[in-house]
Homo-oligomer: A and B are copies of this chain.
Amino acid sequence: MASRDSGKKIVGLAPDRHTSFYGRDIVSVKQFSPEDLAYILGVADEMRSLVKRVGATDLLKGYILANLFYEPSTRTSSSFQAAMQRLGGAVIAIHGVQYSSVSKGESLPDTIRTLECYADVIVLRHPEVGASEVAARYASKPIISAGDGIGEHPTQGLLDIYTILSELGTIDGLHVAMVGDLKHGRTVHSLARLLRLYDIRLTFVSPDVLRLPAEIKQEMLEAGRPVTETDRVEEIIGSADVVYVTRVQKERFADLREYEAVKDYYEITPKLMARAKDKMALMHPLPRVGEIHYDVDDDPRAAYFRQMENGMYIRMALLAAVLGKA
């Protein structure tokens, strides 16, 4: 094994392309240039080939990931664990406050500075917006955000982009529709911000009370991307290349009758899919609770489980990249 340094803030030393990721924190989709995106999507593709071919590698043998989850998330946590393990690295899983110094009143920076004594990279899931940036400010090892509150979820955005590319072969020129709770869904926000970098048009489908925040819509328009809004999924099902569905959460409605009135617009059924394009991708960040009927699962356009799998390849790519091993 080669000699090691602390990894961070030493960018610029190495000669090749991966230097832009080596030692970096991954806390927001806003930090990626088009070149960054192209690079990480390329590495993810190599990771997929590798897993399909031989299952795993020893690239990160001897490295340790601290997986610090302040709120539960089976799929994101498992995905990062599997990513690290398939790269030959080890994981310290820290889940739930009951198993944490937080219950003794410790600050996030102290917890982070402690964990980086043991680990080479830290993945952080936290309920408060901005927590990952705070962590990154204090850490000397790379921090990768696994979602903070209703804020960012950058690795989800990346895996969504990777899935579109992998399902349809391109992103430029597509019509992407996002459906469901667009107000609170951080996955939708992260994906929309990444899509700005491509030549696409967007339709946002939601009940009035769950519309996309004006700020994000404005960012789309400023980037020159055409935006339409509607509350009827029927209007877009025939023309969309990507239908990205999220949960309409009952508990967000003050008046349950309002919920009952809208929820049926947002169940994707085989009947609805019959009206969709032959070549398109139906996506969902999961978990689902009724937005997509189980009978759709066998439709070849149903991409959500492949989307899950892609999450592992994106996380493998990021872990390898920030540790200078991509």
Contact = CB atoms under 8 A, between A and B. Distances in A.
Interface residues of A, number: 62
A99 B106 contact: no
A74 B69 CA distance: 12
Contact of A92 (B78, B92, B105): B78
A53 B118 CA distance: 15
Contact of A312 (B2, B66, B74, B118): B118
Contacts of A55: 1, 4, 62-63, 120
Contact of A66 (B56, B78, B100): B78
A118 B310 CA distance: 10
A81 interface: yes
Given A100-B74, A289-B106, A308 B3 contact: no
Report how many copies the assembly holds. Answer: 3
Contacts of A106: 286-289
A224 to B, nearest CB: 35
A281 interface: no
Contacts of A73: 101
A81 B78 CA distance: 15
A82 B1 contact: no
Shortest beta-carbon contacts, A-B, top 6: A56-B62, A82-B118, A106-B287, A117-B309, A85-B90, A117-B308
5 contacts: A4-B53, A72-B100, A74-B111, A114-B305, A118-B309
Interface of A: 1-4, 52-57, 61-64, 66, 69, 72-75, 77-79, 81-82, 85-86, 90, 92-96, 98-106, 109-111, 113-115, 117-120, 286-289, 294, 305, 308-309, 311-312
